């Protein structure tokens, strides 16, 4: 267990801590609303796990900065007239380089911009909205349970079900 691996892995450990906190809330608390909140925390920690994996050291967000994007679009329109041909990846690199030289004050950069991985972002983005919709469903069920049983306490509900 070197210091290097601690520095490389602590993110995962924090995520696991949060995940286990959510799990503990679900297990140890009887109130149904609290359980839903615990599930929410668990869910958020999963989002954080995915986003953590997508980060690249020294990278930036996968949104091309406006200045570079404008230069790029200009270069792309200038070079190939029709969009019909599918450019190769090397072509994209050249376009990016041309854009870097094109955009005046950006010319000093020989290093390419590193972008973090956009794929985890996409997966989690949809998952968050689906998550709130399903949370709303769970809360609706909690409301109905309260209306029928008069309580949101798990053990009380079980007792009522057993007919005590």
102 part of the interface to another protein, by CB under 8 A: no
State which of residues 79, 97, 101, 140 lies at the interface with another protein (CB under 8 A). 140
Q: How many CA atoms lie less than 13 Å away from 164 in the CB half-sphere?
A: 7
Tokens of 32: 């149904």
Q: What is the DSSP string of 129-157?
A: HHHHHHHHHHHHHHHHHHHHHS--BHHHH
30 part of the interface to another protein, by CB under 8 A: yes
Burial of 35 (0-12, 13-18, 19+ CB in 10 A): buried
93 part of the interface to another protein, by CB under 8 A: yes
125 part of the interface to another protein, by CB under 8 A: yes
State which of residues 78, 97, 148, 159 lies at the interface with another protein (CB under 8 A). 148
116 part of the interface to another protein, by CB under 8 A: yes
State which of residues 78, 101, 118, 159 lies at the interface with another protein (CB under 8 A). 118
């Amino acid at each position: 267990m070197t210091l290097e691996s601690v520095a490389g892995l602590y993110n995962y450990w924090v995520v696991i801590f949060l995940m286990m906190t959510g799990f503990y809330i679900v297990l140890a608390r009887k109130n149904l609303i609290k359980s839903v909140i615990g599930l929410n925390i668990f869910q958020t920690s999963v989002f954080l796990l995915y986003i953590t994996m997508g980060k690249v050291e020294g990278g930036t967000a996968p949104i091309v900065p406006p200045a570079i994007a404008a230069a790029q679009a200009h270069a792309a329109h200038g070079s190939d007239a029709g969009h019909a041909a599918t450019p190769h990846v090397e072509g994209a690199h050249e376009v990016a380089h041309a854009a870097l030289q094109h955009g005046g004050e950006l010319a000093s950069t020989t290093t390419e911009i590193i972008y973090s991985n956009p794929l985890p972002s996409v997966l989690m983005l949809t998952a968050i909205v689906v998550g709130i919709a399903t949370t709303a469903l769970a809360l609706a069920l909690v409301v109905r349970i309260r209306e029928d049983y008069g309580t949101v306490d798990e053990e009380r509900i079980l007792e009522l079900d057993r007919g005590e």
